[in-house]
Amino acid sequence: MYGSSLTALTLTLVLGALSSTANAITIDGVVLDNSGGNNLFSGVVFEFTVSGAGDELTGHFEVDVIRGGGGGVVWTSGDNGVELTGVFHSYIVDSINPSHIEFTGGVMEIYSDAAENFDPADPSKSNDGNLWATFAGHPSLTGITLAGNANMGDFLTATFQGFVGGLLDIAGPGLASNVLDTNGLDDGADAIFGTSFNTALANDVFPVGGSFDVVGRPLVSIPEPFTFALAALSLISLGMTRRRRRR
């Protein structure tokens, strides 16, 4: 009777520990929901304008919040003493007209930074931390990696605004690159990227600002506490079995 009660108590404690650790993973202070759903990274973005084919789109950003598969917030900027920032570059204009634009190429680098020094007008503050993930544009059959619609006039007017989106692949090093390299989204991509922008959110350096979202699906993994708990439960069960045999 005593052995059965102890086993039940141990099982309860183990399952309690698992519920608090099995659905989240922390990478350099940044928390992700790894229960199997998508994670939504949302924040602010600042970028330079482009005006013709061959121009390069560049900019930088800060992640304000990450939401897990159920929509609940799992991390906000400053949690655990870190911020998540990044830069993007090498998006080359393939075609452009007053209402539509398409790009090829593209690289996005994300950094975790304990300095928490993001500055909308200073992109050097967005890539001065630990390299957290490296993405590249995921090309369509025609090679397009980013596309969208805009009310842009000649791309330099005061009414410039719009939205572009595309797919991303993990394409380089980073503390979280392996966790995000799942090929689990559209067309086997690792993430979906979208940004809306307008000149009303410009600053002294960047003529365009706005918001952005990146959707990724972290690998579902068994955290170390889970493995330890299962091992502990197995050892306790083995001990109970031996005790019963001696009796």
What values do phi and psi take at 165, rounded to 5?
A: -150, 160
Lowest mean pLDDT among 20-29, 100-109, 169-178: 20-29
pLDDT given at position 200: 84
Q: Is the pLDDT of residue 13 over 60?
A: no
For the residues of 89-101, what is the DSSP string, one character each?
EEEEEEEEETTEE
* 3-state SS, one letter per residue, for 160-204: CEEEEEEEEEECCCCCCHHHHCCCCCHHHCCEEEEEEEEHHHCCC
The domain spans of the chain are: 1-22+222-247, 27-218
Q: What is the pLDDT of residue 99?
A: 85
Confidence of residue 23 (pLDDT cuts 50, 70, 90): confident
**Residue-wise over 73-82: b if at least 16 C-beta within 10 A, else e?**
ebbebebeeb
* Under 8 Å between Cβ of 104 and 94: yes
- For the cut 70, the answer to whether the pLDDT of residue 241 exceeds it is no
Q: What is the pLDDT of residues 212-237, one digit of tens each?
A: 999 999 987 544 444 444 444 454 55
Residues 73-92: pLDDT tens digits? 999 999 999 999 999 999 99
